[in-house]
Structure 1
Amino acid sequence: MNMLALVTGASSGIGRAFTRRLAGDGHDVIAVARRAERLEEVAAGFPGGRVRPFAADLATGEGVDAVARMCAAEPLDLLVNNAGVAHYMPLAELPEAKAREVVGVKVAAPTMLARAAVPGMVTRGGGTIVNVAGMLAFGGPDPAAQMGRAVYTGALAHLVAMSQTLAAELAGTGVRVQALCPGVVATEFHERQGMDLGGTPRMSAEDVVTACLRGLELGEVVCAPGVEDERLLRAVFDADLAAFGAQSPRLATRYVSRPGGPVPGRAGNGS
Protein backbone atom coordinates (compact mmCIF):
# COMPACT_ATOMS: atom_id res chain seq x y z
CA MET A 1 0.00 0.00 0.00
CA ASN A 2 1.40 3.37 -1.03
CA MET A 3 1.81 5.92 1.75
CA LEU A 4 2.92 9.53 2.06
CA ALA A 5 5.82 10.39 4.36
CA LEU A 6 7.51 13.62 5.35
CA VAL A 7 11.14 13.32 6.43
CA THR A 8 13.14 16.22 7.87
CA GLY A 9 16.91 16.36 7.62
CA ALA A 10 16.47 14.36 4.43
CA SER A 11 19.55 15.55 2.55
CA SER A 12 22.07 13.43 4.45
CA GLY A 13 22.61 10.70 7.02
CA ILE A 14 19.65 8.99 8.63
CA GLY A 15 17.15 11.27 6.91
CA ARG A 16 18.53 10.45 3.49
CA ALA A 17 18.49 6.75 4.35
CA PHE A 18 14.82 7.03 5.38
CA THR A 19 13.98 8.85 2.15
CA ARG A 20 15.74 6.31 -0.03
CA ARG A 21 14.23 3.34 1.79
CA LEU A 22 10.69 4.67 1.66
CA ALA A 23 10.86 5.88 -1.93
CA GLY A 24 12.57 2.66 -2.96
CA ASP A 25 9.65 0.73 -1.45
CA GLY A 26 7.25 2.70 -3.64
CA HIS A 27 6.12 5.34 -1.18
CA ASP A 28 5.90 9.10 -1.77
CA VAL A 29 8.23 11.25 0.31
CA ILE A 30 8.30 14.97 1.04
CA ALA A 31 12.01 15.49 1.71
CA VAL A 32 12.78 18.50 3.90
CA ALA A 33 16.21 20.02 4.54
CA ARG A 34 18.08 23.31 4.39
CA ARG A 35 20.26 22.48 1.38
CA ALA A 36 18.11 22.53 -1.75
CA GLU A 37 20.89 21.23 -3.99
CA ARG A 38 21.38 18.15 -1.80
CA LEU A 39 17.65 17.50 -1.81
CA GLU A 40 17.60 17.69 -5.60
CA GLU A 41 20.36 15.06 -5.72
CA VAL A 42 18.30 12.70 -3.57
CA ALA A 43 15.14 13.34 -5.60
CA ALA A 44 16.98 12.73 -8.88
CA GLY A 45 17.40 9.10 -7.93
CA PHE A 46 13.63 8.63 -7.96
CA PRO A 47 12.11 10.07 -11.16
CA GLY A 48 8.41 10.70 -11.51
CA GLY A 49 8.06 12.90 -8.44
CA ARG A 50 8.35 10.08 -5.93
CA VAL A 51 10.52 12.37 -3.80
CA ARG A 52 9.33 15.99 -3.47
CA PRO A 53 12.11 18.31 -2.26
CA PHE A 54 11.12 21.10 0.13
CA ALA A 55 13.87 23.43 1.33
CA ALA A 56 13.34 24.89 4.81
CA ASP A 57 15.54 25.78 7.77
CA LEU A 58 13.98 24.32 10.91
CA ALA A 59 16.21 26.49 13.08
CA THR A 60 13.98 29.42 12.11
CA GLY A 61 10.38 30.16 12.98
CA GLU A 62 9.59 30.72 9.31
CA GLY A 63 10.98 27.34 8.36
CA VAL A 64 9.07 25.53 11.10
CA ASP A 65 5.83 27.32 10.20
CA ALA A 66 6.18 26.43 6.51
CA VAL A 67 6.74 22.74 7.20
CA ALA A 68 4.02 22.69 9.88
CA ARG A 69 1.52 24.02 7.35
CA MET A 70 2.49 21.20 5.03
CA CYS A 71 2.10 18.64 7.84
CA ALA A 72 -1.40 19.93 8.49
CA ALA A 73 -2.44 20.11 4.84
CA GLU A 74 -0.98 16.88 3.46
CA PRO A 75 -2.54 13.45 4.28
CA LEU A 76 0.63 12.21 5.94
CA ASP A 77 0.92 8.56 6.93
CA LEU A 78 4.40 9.01 8.39
CA LEU A 79 6.28 11.96 9.89
CA VAL A 80 9.98 11.44 10.60
CA ASN A 81 11.36 14.26 12.77
CA ASN A 82 15.01 13.62 12.00
CA ALA A 83 16.60 17.04 11.41
CA GLY A 84 19.50 17.52 13.76
CA VAL A 85 22.18 19.92 14.84
CA ALA A 86 24.66 19.68 17.67
CA HIS A 87 27.11 22.23 19.00
CA TYR A 88 29.32 20.40 21.44
CA MET A 89 30.79 22.78 23.99
CA PRO A 90 30.32 23.61 27.68
CA LEU A 91 27.13 25.55 28.37
CA ALA A 92 29.02 28.59 29.67
CA GLU A 93 30.86 28.80 26.33
CA LEU A 94 27.91 28.02 24.06
CA PRO A 95 26.92 31.11 22.03
CA GLU A 96 23.29 32.13 22.37
CA ALA A 97 22.61 31.61 18.66
CA LYS A 98 23.92 28.06 18.75
CA ALA A 99 21.95 27.22 21.89
CA ARG A 100 18.79 28.52 20.24
CA GLU A 101 19.55 26.49 17.12
CA VAL A 102 19.83 23.21 19.02
CA VAL A 103 16.62 23.82 20.95
CA GLY A 104 14.86 25.04 17.82
CA VAL A 105 15.77 22.08 15.64
CA LYS A 106 15.56 19.26 18.21
CA VAL A 107 12.78 20.50 20.52
CA ALA A 108 10.60 23.20 18.96
CA ALA A 109 10.50 21.83 15.40
CA PRO A 110 9.55 18.21 16.27
CA THR A 111 6.95 19.47 18.73
CA MET A 112 5.29 21.85 16.28
CA LEU A 113 5.41 19.45 13.34
CA ALA A 114 3.88 16.66 15.40
CA ARG A 115 1.24 19.08 16.67
CA ALA A 116 0.36 19.95 13.06
CA ALA A 117 0.28 16.35 11.82
CA VAL A 118 -1.58 14.61 14.66
CA PRO A 119 -5.11 15.99 14.13
CA GLY A 120 -5.22 14.80 10.52
CA MET A 121 -3.81 11.42 11.45
CA VAL A 122 -6.40 10.98 14.18
CA THR A 123 -9.20 11.98 11.81
CA ARG A 124 -7.98 9.49 9.20
CA GLY A 125 -7.65 6.80 11.86
CA GLY A 126 -3.95 6.11 11.48
CA GLY A 127 -0.44 7.42 11.10
CA THR A 128 3.03 7.24 12.58
CA ILE A 129 5.37 9.82 14.09
CA VAL A 130 9.05 8.96 14.53
CA ASN A 131 11.16 11.33 16.61
CA VAL A 132 14.86 10.69 16.08
CA ALA A 133 16.63 11.16 19.43
CA GLY A 134 19.74 9.21 20.49
CA MET A 135 21.26 7.06 23.19
CA LEU A 136 22.82 10.15 24.77
CA ALA A 137 19.33 10.74 26.16
CA PHE A 138 20.12 7.97 28.66
CA GLY A 139 23.70 9.06 29.39
CA GLY A 140 23.06 11.95 31.76
CA PRO A 141 24.44 10.18 34.85
CA ASP A 142 27.79 9.69 33.06
CA PRO A 143 29.59 13.08 32.99
CA ALA A 144 32.34 11.70 30.75
CA ALA A 145 29.80 10.81 28.05
CA GLN A 146 28.13 14.20 28.21
CA MET A 147 31.01 16.66 28.35
CA GLY A 148 30.01 19.75 26.39
CA ARG A 149 26.61 18.37 25.42
CA ALA A 150 24.19 19.53 28.12
CA VAL A 151 21.77 21.29 25.76
CA TYR A 152 21.92 18.58 23.10
CA THR A 153 21.42 15.77 25.61
CA GLY A 154 18.51 17.59 27.21
CA ALA A 155 16.89 17.98 23.80
CA LEU A 156 17.18 14.24 23.12
CA ALA A 157 15.72 13.43 26.52
CA HIS A 158 12.79 15.72 25.69
CA LEU A 159 12.11 13.74 22.51
CA VAL A 160 12.07 10.45 24.41
CA ALA A 161 9.73 11.73 27.13
CA MET A 162 7.47 13.48 24.63
CA SER A 163 7.25 10.38 22.45
CA GLN A 164 6.35 8.13 25.39
CA THR A 165 3.71 10.51 26.67
CA LEU A 166 2.27 11.20 23.22
CA ALA A 167 2.09 7.48 22.45
CA ALA A 168 -0.01 6.98 25.58
CA GLU A 169 -2.16 10.01 24.74
CA LEU A 170 -2.91 8.64 21.26
CA ALA A 171 -3.57 5.04 22.33
CA GLY A 172 -6.63 3.71 20.55
CA THR A 173 -6.55 6.30 17.76
CA GLY A 174 -4.50 4.26 15.33
CA VAL A 175 -1.63 6.76 15.53
CA ARG A 176 1.72 5.35 16.63
CA VAL A 177 4.68 7.24 18.07
CA GLN A 178 8.28 6.11 18.34
CA ALA A 179 11.44 7.65 19.77
CA LEU A 180 14.33 6.33 17.69
CA CYS A 181 17.55 6.27 19.72
CA PRO A 182 20.61 5.26 17.70
CA GLY A 183 24.12 5.36 19.10
CA VAL A 184 27.07 6.50 17.00
CA VAL A 185 26.08 6.36 13.32
CA ALA A 186 28.31 6.59 10.24
CA THR A 187 27.08 9.93 8.88
CA GLU A 188 28.43 13.46 8.39
CA PHE A 189 26.94 14.52 11.74
CA HIS A 190 30.07 14.22 13.88
CA GLU A 191 32.36 15.48 11.14
CA ARG A 192 30.44 18.76 11.19
CA GLN A 193 31.35 19.04 14.89
CA GLY A 194 35.03 18.61 14.00
CA MET A 195 35.13 15.12 15.52
CA ASP A 196 37.21 12.36 13.89
CA LEU A 197 35.45 9.07 14.58
CA GLY A 198 37.18 7.16 11.81
CA GLY A 199 38.43 4.54 14.26
CA THR A 200 35.17 4.24 16.19
CA PRO A 201 32.77 1.38 15.32
CA ARG A 202 29.61 2.97 13.94
CA MET A 203 26.23 1.69 12.80
CA SER A 204 25.10 2.43 9.26
CA ALA A 205 22.21 4.82 8.69
CA GLU A 206 20.49 2.07 6.72
CA ASP A 207 20.57 -0.25 9.74
CA VAL A 208 19.05 2.50 11.88
CA VAL A 209 16.14 2.76 9.44
CA THR A 210 15.73 -1.02 9.41
CA ALA A 211 15.56 -1.05 13.22
CA CYS A 212 12.98 1.76 13.25
CA LEU A 213 10.64 0.05 10.80
CA ARG A 214 10.96 -3.31 12.53
CA GLY A 215 10.51 -1.64 15.92
CA LEU A 216 7.22 -0.17 14.72
CA GLU A 217 6.08 -3.66 13.76
CA LEU A 218 7.02 -4.84 17.25
CA GLY A 219 5.11 -1.99 18.86
CA GLU A 220 8.18 -0.38 20.41
CA VAL A 221 7.71 3.19 21.61
CA VAL A 222 11.45 3.53 22.25
CA CYS A 223 13.65 1.88 19.64
CA ALA A 224 17.35 1.47 20.45
CA PRO A 225 18.96 -0.11 17.36
CA GLY A 226 22.23 -0.99 19.08
CA VAL A 227 20.90 -2.42 22.36
CA GLU A 228 20.75 -6.20 22.09
CA ASP A 229 19.09 -6.88 25.46
CA GLU A 230 15.75 -5.07 25.40
CA ARG A 231 15.31 -5.87 29.10
CA LEU A 232 17.80 -3.09 29.84
CA LEU A 233 15.44 -0.53 28.35
CA ARG A 234 12.47 -1.97 30.23
CA ALA A 235 14.50 -1.77 33.45
CA VAL A 236 15.14 1.94 32.84
CA PHE A 237 11.48 2.69 32.27
CA ASP A 238 10.32 0.47 35.14
CA ALA A 239 12.69 2.37 37.45
CA ASP A 240 11.29 5.68 36.19
CA LEU A 241 7.74 4.52 36.93
CA ALA A 242 8.74 3.15 40.32
CA ALA A 243 10.22 6.50 41.34
CA PHE A 244 7.21 8.35 39.97
CA GLY A 245 4.79 6.09 41.84
CA ALA A 246 6.75 6.30 45.09
CA GLN A 247 6.34 10.05 45.54
CA SER A 248 4.48 11.41 48.51
CA PRO A 249 3.26 14.81 49.72
CA ARG A 250 5.47 14.31 52.77
CA LEU A 251 9.03 15.59 52.74
CA ALA A 252 11.52 12.75 52.30
CA THR A 253 13.44 12.10 55.50
CA ARG A 254 16.82 12.78 53.90
CA TYR A 255 15.77 16.42 53.46
CA VAL A 256 14.72 16.93 57.08
CA SER A 257 17.27 19.14 58.84
CA ARG A 258 18.96 17.84 61.97
CA PRO A 259 19.90 20.15 64.86
CA GLY A 260 23.44 21.34 64.35
CA GLY A 261 23.46 20.28 60.74
CA PRO A 262 25.41 22.18 58.04
CA VAL A 263 24.11 25.59 56.96
CA PRO A 264 23.62 25.96 53.19
CA GLY A 265 26.39 27.99 51.62
CA ARG A 266 28.93 27.30 54.37
CA ALA A 267 31.72 24.77 54.30
CA GLY A 268 31.13 23.71 57.92
CA ASN A 269 29.07 24.49 61.03
CA GLY A 270 30.19 28.06 61.59
CA SER A 271 33.84 27.42 62.39
Structure 2
Amino acid sequence: MTKLALVTGATSGIGKAFAERLATLGYDLVLVGRREERLREFAATHPQITVRGLAADLSTAEGIDSVAQVCASEDITLLVNNAGVAHYMPLADLPADKARELANVKVLAPTMLTRAVVSGMQARGEGTIINVAGMIAFSGPAPASAMPRRAVYAGSLAFAVAMSQTLSAELEGTGVRVQVLCPGVVATEFHERQGMDLSAIRRMSADEVVTASLRGLERGEVVVAPGVEDASLLEAIFAAELAAFNGQSPELASRYRVG
Protein backbone atom coordinates (compact mmCIF):
# COMPACT_ATOMS: atom_id res chain seq x y z
CA MET A 1 0.00 0.00 0.00
CA THR A 2 1.34 3.43 -0.95
CA LYS A 3 2.21 5.68 1.98
CA LEU A 4 1.17 9.32 1.53
CA ALA A 5 2.55 12.16 3.66
CA LEU A 6 1.43 15.78 3.69
CA VAL A 7 4.02 18.25 4.98
CA THR A 8 3.34 21.96 5.52
CA GLY A 9 6.10 24.53 5.41
CA ALA A 10 7.91 22.11 3.12
CA THR A 11 10.04 24.49 1.07
CA SER A 12 12.80 25.00 3.64
CA GLY A 13 14.14 24.04 7.04
CA ILE A 14 12.55 21.27 9.06
CA GLY A 15 9.71 20.82 6.57
CA LYS A 16 12.08 20.25 3.69
CA ALA A 17 14.19 17.91 5.81
CA PHE A 18 11.04 15.88 6.56
CA ALA A 19 10.23 15.78 2.84
CA GLU A 20 13.73 14.61 1.95
CA ARG A 21 13.71 11.87 4.58
CA LEU A 22 10.21 10.67 3.78
CA ALA A 23 11.12 10.47 0.10
CA THR A 24 13.95 8.07 0.97
CA LEU A 25 11.46 6.00 2.98
CA GLY A 26 9.20 5.59 -0.05
CA TYR A 27 6.42 8.00 0.82
CA ASP A 28 4.53 9.83 -1.88
CA LEU A 29 4.29 13.47 -0.88
CA VAL A 30 1.91 16.41 -0.84
CA LEU A 31 4.13 19.39 -0.07
CA VAL A 32 2.56 22.65 1.08
CA GLY A 33 4.35 25.98 0.89
CA ARG A 34 4.13 29.53 -0.36
CA ARG A 35 7.03 29.35 -2.84
CA GLU A 36 5.84 27.49 -5.91
CA GLU A 37 9.25 27.41 -7.56
CA ARG A 38 10.72 25.45 -4.65
CA LEU A 39 7.82 22.99 -4.73
CA ARG A 40 8.41 22.42 -8.45
CA GLU A 41 12.15 22.03 -7.90
CA PHE A 42 11.63 19.36 -5.22
CA ALA A 43 9.29 17.39 -7.48
CA ALA A 44 11.74 17.59 -10.38
CA THR A 45 14.63 16.28 -8.28
CA HIS A 46 12.66 13.35 -6.79
CA PRO A 47 11.28 11.44 -9.80
CA GLN A 48 11.29 8.14 -7.89
CA ILE A 49 8.16 9.14 -5.96
CA THR A 50 4.97 11.05 -6.66
CA VAL A 51 5.29 14.63 -5.42
CA ARG A 52 2.42 17.07 -5.57
CA GLY A 53 3.14 20.68 -4.75
CA LEU A 54 0.29 22.60 -3.15
CA ALA A 55 0.89 26.35 -3.05
CA ALA A 56 -1.11 27.69 -0.11
CA ASP A 57 -0.81 30.48 2.44
CA LEU A 58 -1.79 29.05 5.82
CA SER A 59 -2.11 32.51 7.30
CA THR A 60 -5.39 32.85 5.37
CA ALA A 61 -8.73 31.07 5.71
CA GLU A 62 -8.63 30.20 2.02
CA GLY A 63 -5.21 28.60 2.32
CA ILE A 64 -6.18 26.58 5.37
CA ASP A 65 -9.42 25.40 3.76
CA SER A 66 -7.70 24.31 0.55
CA VAL A 67 -5.21 22.13 2.42
CA ALA A 68 -7.86 20.81 4.82
CA GLN A 69 -9.87 19.63 1.82
CA VAL A 70 -6.93 17.53 0.66
CA CYS A 71 -6.49 16.15 4.19
CA ALA A 72 -10.14 15.14 4.33
CA SER A 73 -10.41 13.65 0.83
CA GLU A 74 -7.20 11.64 0.51
CA ASP A 75 -5.72 8.72 2.44
CA ILE A 76 -3.03 10.62 4.31
CA THR A 77 -0.71 8.27 6.19
CA LEU A 78 1.37 10.99 7.85
CA LEU A 79 0.56 14.66 8.49
CA VAL A 80 3.40 16.99 9.47
CA ASN A 81 2.12 20.37 10.69
CA ASN A 82 5.37 22.27 10.35
CA ALA A 83 4.56 25.67 8.80
CA GLY A 84 5.59 28.56 10.97
CA VAL A 85 6.26 32.25 11.42
CA ALA A 86 7.99 33.84 14.37
CA HIS A 87 7.21 37.54 14.82
CA TYR A 88 9.34 37.74 17.96
CA MET A 89 8.15 40.83 19.82
CA PRO A 90 6.19 41.82 22.93
CA LEU A 91 2.43 41.68 22.50
CA ALA A 92 2.07 45.46 22.79
CA ASP A 93 4.42 45.85 19.82
CA LEU A 94 2.93 43.09 17.69
CA PRO A 95 0.92 44.55 14.79
CA ALA A 96 -2.59 43.15 14.44
CA ASP A 97 -1.90 41.61 11.04
CA LYS A 98 1.19 39.80 12.34
CA ALA A 99 -0.68 38.56 15.42
CA ARG A 100 -3.41 37.19 13.15
CA GLU A 101 -0.87 35.58 10.84
CA LEU A 102 0.91 33.88 13.73
CA ALA A 103 -2.31 32.60 15.29
CA ASN A 104 -3.56 31.30 11.95
CA VAL A 105 -0.34 29.51 10.99
CA LYS A 106 0.58 28.01 14.37
CA VAL A 107 -2.83 27.46 16.01
CA LEU A 108 -5.72 27.50 13.54
CA ALA A 109 -4.02 25.70 10.63
CA PRO A 110 -2.72 22.72 12.66
CA THR A 111 -6.11 22.43 14.35
CA MET A 112 -8.10 22.41 11.14
CA LEU A 113 -5.72 20.15 9.20
CA THR A 114 -5.59 17.67 12.06
CA ARG A 115 -9.37 17.75 12.35
CA ALA A 116 -9.66 17.08 8.62
CA VAL A 117 -7.28 14.13 8.58
CA VAL A 118 -8.03 12.35 11.83
CA SER A 119 -11.39 10.76 10.95
CA GLY A 120 -9.94 9.00 7.92
CA MET A 121 -6.98 7.77 9.95
CA GLN A 122 -9.30 6.39 12.61
CA ALA A 123 -11.42 4.63 9.98
CA ARG A 124 -8.30 3.01 8.49
CA GLY A 125 -6.92 2.15 11.92
CA GLU A 126 -3.56 3.80 11.33
CA GLY A 127 -1.90 7.16 10.80
CA THR A 128 0.51 9.61 12.34
CA ILE A 129 0.21 13.32 13.13
CA ILE A 130 3.33 15.34 13.94
CA ASN A 131 2.95 18.90 15.20
CA VAL A 132 6.18 20.90 15.09
CA ALA A 133 6.44 23.26 18.08
CA GLY A 134 9.61 24.18 19.97
CA MET A 135 11.22 24.39 23.39
CA ILE A 136 9.93 27.96 23.75
CA ALA A 137 6.65 26.24 24.63
CA PHE A 138 8.18 25.59 28.05
CA SER A 139 9.65 29.09 28.53
CA GLY A 140 6.60 30.78 30.06
CA PRO A 141 7.93 30.89 33.65
CA ALA A 142 11.20 32.56 32.56
CA PRO A 143 11.79 36.07 33.93
CA ALA A 144 12.08 39.00 31.55
CA SER A 145 15.85 39.02 31.99
CA ALA A 146 16.17 35.47 30.66
CA MET A 147 14.87 35.97 27.13
CA PRO A 148 13.02 38.48 24.96
CA ARG A 149 9.28 38.46 25.38
CA ARG A 150 7.23 36.80 22.65
CA ALA A 151 3.96 35.95 24.32
CA VAL A 152 1.91 34.97 21.28
CA TYR A 153 4.65 32.85 19.76
CA ALA A 154 5.35 31.03 23.03
CA GLY A 155 1.63 30.58 23.64
CA SER A 156 1.07 29.10 20.19
CA LEU A 157 3.78 26.50 20.77
CA ALA A 158 2.40 25.68 24.22
CA PHE A 159 -0.98 25.13 22.55
CA ALA A 160 0.63 22.59 20.22
CA VAL A 161 2.04 20.68 23.19
CA ALA A 162 -1.24 20.56 25.12
CA MET A 163 -3.34 19.75 22.06
CA SER A 164 -1.01 16.95 20.97
CA GLN A 165 -0.90 15.36 24.41
CA THR A 166 -4.67 15.52 24.81
CA LEU A 167 -5.32 14.28 21.27
CA SER A 168 -2.93 11.38 21.79
CA ALA A 169 -5.01 10.31 24.79
CA GLU A 170 -8.24 10.73 22.82
CA LEU A 171 -6.90 8.45 20.09
CA GLU A 172 -5.51 5.73 22.36
CA GLY A 173 -6.24 2.33 20.91
CA THR A 174 -7.23 3.59 17.46
CA GLY A 175 -3.88 2.99 15.75
CA VAL A 176 -3.39 6.75 15.22
CA ARG A 177 -0.25 8.23 16.76
CA VAL A 178 0.31 11.87 17.71
CA GLN A 179 3.62 13.58 18.37
CA VAL A 180 4.63 17.13 19.19
CA LEU A 181 8.20 17.91 18.18
CA CYS A 182 9.99 20.54 20.27
CA PRO A 183 13.45 21.44 18.96
CA GLY A 184 15.55 24.31 20.24
CA VAL A 185 17.40 26.63 17.90
CA VAL A 186 17.79 24.95 14.51
CA ALA A 187 20.05 25.95 11.60
CA THR A 188 17.42 26.98 9.03
CA GLU A 189 16.24 30.09 7.18
CA PHE A 190 13.58 30.62 9.84
CA HIS A 191 15.44 33.18 11.93
CA GLU A 192 17.04 34.88 8.94
CA ARG A 193 13.59 35.74 7.62
CA GLN A 194 12.95 37.49 10.91
CA GLY A 195 16.13 39.55 10.49
CA MET A 196 17.99 37.58 13.18
CA ASP A 197 21.63 36.56 12.69
CA LEU A 198 22.29 33.41 14.72
CA SER A 199 25.26 32.24 12.70
CA ALA A 200 27.56 32.50 15.73
CA ILE A 201 25.36 30.20 17.82
CA ARG A 202 25.80 26.44 17.75
CA ARG A 203 22.59 24.99 16.32
CA MET A 204 21.11 21.58 15.59
CA SER A 205 20.55 20.68 11.95
CA ALA A 206 17.07 20.19 10.53
CA ASP A 207 18.04 16.65 9.55
CA GLU A 208 18.92 15.84 13.17
CA VAL A 209 15.52 17.14 14.26
CA VAL A 210 13.82 14.79 11.80
CA THR A 211 15.95 11.88 13.04
CA ALA A 212 14.79 12.60 16.59
CA SER A 213 11.16 12.77 15.50
CA LEU A 214 11.20 9.43 13.71
CA ARG A 215 13.14 7.77 16.52
CA GLY A 216 10.65 9.25 18.98
CA LEU A 217 7.82 7.60 17.06
CA GLU A 218 9.59 4.27 17.39
CA ARG A 219 9.95 4.88 21.13
CA GLY A 220 6.29 5.83 21.55
CA GLU A 221 7.07 9.36 22.76
CA VAL A 222 4.31 11.96 22.43
CA VAL A 223 6.58 14.90 23.31
CA VAL A 224 9.95 14.79 21.54
CA ALA A 225 12.61 17.27 22.65
CA PRO A 226 15.65 16.55 20.44
CA GLY A 227 18.10 18.61 22.50
CA VAL A 228 17.10 17.51 26.02
CA GLU A 229 19.47 14.77 27.16
CA ASP A 230 17.77 14.14 30.52
CA ALA A 231 14.28 12.92 29.64
CA SER A 232 13.33 12.93 33.32
CA LEU A 233 13.13 16.73 33.12
CA LEU A 234 10.19 16.42 30.75
CA GLU A 235 8.62 13.69 32.86
CA ALA A 236 8.87 15.98 35.90
CA ILE A 237 7.06 18.78 34.05
CA PHE A 238 4.20 16.53 33.04
CA ALA A 239 3.95 14.93 36.48
CA ALA A 240 3.77 18.38 38.11
CA GLU A 241 1.07 19.51 35.67
CA LEU A 242 -1.05 16.45 36.44
CA ALA A 243 -0.47 16.90 40.18
CA ALA A 244 -1.75 20.48 39.98
CA PHE A 245 -4.72 19.40 37.85
CA ASN A 246 -5.63 16.58 40.23
CA GLY A 247 -4.97 18.75 43.28
CA GLN A 248 -7.84 21.12 42.63
CA SER A 249 -10.82 21.31 44.95
CA PRO A 250 -14.22 23.03 45.01
CA GLU A 251 -13.00 24.78 48.18
CA LEU A 252 -11.27 28.15 47.89
CA ALA A 253 -7.54 27.72 48.55
CA SER A 254 -6.53 29.13 51.95
CA ARG A 255 -4.08 31.61 50.41
CA TYR A 256 -7.00 33.40 48.74
CA ARG A 257 -9.19 33.62 51.83
CA VAL A 258 -9.53 36.99 53.51
CA GLY A 259 -8.89 37.29 57.24
TM over 0.5: yes
Q: How far off is 1:144 after superposition? A: 3.8
Query: Whole-Å Cα distance in 2 between the matches of residues 189 and 148 of structure 1?
Result: 18
Instruction: State yes or no: 1:249 paired with 2:250.
Output: yes
Which residue number corresponds to residue 40 of structure 2?
40
**Matched ranges for 1:113-132 at <5 A:** 113-132=113-132
- Scaled by the length of structure 1, the TM-score of the pair is 0.93
Q: Which amino acid aligns with 2:36?
A: A
**Matched ranges for 1:114-263 at <5 A:** 114-142=114-142, 143-258=144-259
Q: Identity over aligned residues, as a percent?
A: 67
SS in 1 for 2:186: coil
Q: Which amino acid aligns with 1:154?
A: G
Q: Which amino acid aligns with 1:236?
A: I
Q: How far off is 1:22 after superposition? A: 0.3
Q: How far off is 1:48 after superposition? A: 5.0
Q: Which amino acid aligns with 2:232?
A: R
Q: Which amino acid aligns with 1:163?
A: S
Q: Which amino acid aligns with 1:69?
A: Q
Q: Which amino acid aligns with 2:181?
A: L
Which residue number corresponds to residue 29 of structure 2?
29
1:85-126 Cα deviation digits (max 9, x unpaired)? 010111111100000000000000000000000000000000
SS in 1 for 2:243: helix
Q: How far off is 1:147 after superposition? A: 2.0
Q: Which amino acid aligns with 1:88?
A: Y
**Larger Rg: 1 or 2?**
1
Query: Whole-Å Cα distance in 1 between the matches of residues 175 and 25 of structure 2?
Result: 22
Q: Which amino acid aligns with 1:133?
A: A
Q: How far off is 1:2 after superposition? A: 4.1
Which residue number corresponds to residue 101 of structure 2?
101
Cα contact 1:130–1:180 (8 A) shared by 2: yes
Query: Whole-Å Cα distance in 1 between the matches of residues 50 and 203 of structure 2?
Result: 30
Ranges in structure 2 where 5+ consecutive residues have no aligned partner: none
Query: Whole-Å Cα distance in 2 between the matches of residues 146 and 221 of structure 1?
Result: 27
In structure 2, relative to structure 1, the CA distance for the partners of 1:232 and 1:207 (3 Å cut) is: same
Runs of 4+ in structure 1 off by over 6 angstroms are none
Query: Whole-Å Cα distance in 2 between the matches of residues 244 and 160 of structure 1?
Result: 16
Instruction: State yes or no: 1:89 paired with 2:120.
Output: no
Cα contact 2:26–2:49 (8 A) shared by 1: no
SS in 2 for 1:248: coil
Cα contact 1:23–1:50 (8 A) shared by 2: no
Query: Whole-Å Cα distance in 2 between the matches of residues 50 and 235 of structure 1?
Result: 43
Query: Whole-Å Cα distance in 2 between the matches of residues 2 and 226 of structure 1?
Result: 33
Cα contact 1:125–1:174 (8 A) shared by 2: yes
Ranges in structure 1 where 5+ consecutive residues have no aligned partner: 259-271
Query: Whole-Å Cα distance in 1 between the matches of residues 145 and 3 of structure 2?
Result: 42
How much is the aligned-residue C-alpha RMSD, in angstroms? Answer: 1.1
- Scaled by the length of structure 2, the TM-score of the pair is 0.97
Query: Whole-Å Cα distance in 2 between the matches of residues 23 and 192 of structure 1?
Result: 26
Cα contact 2:27–2:49 (8 A) shared by 1: no
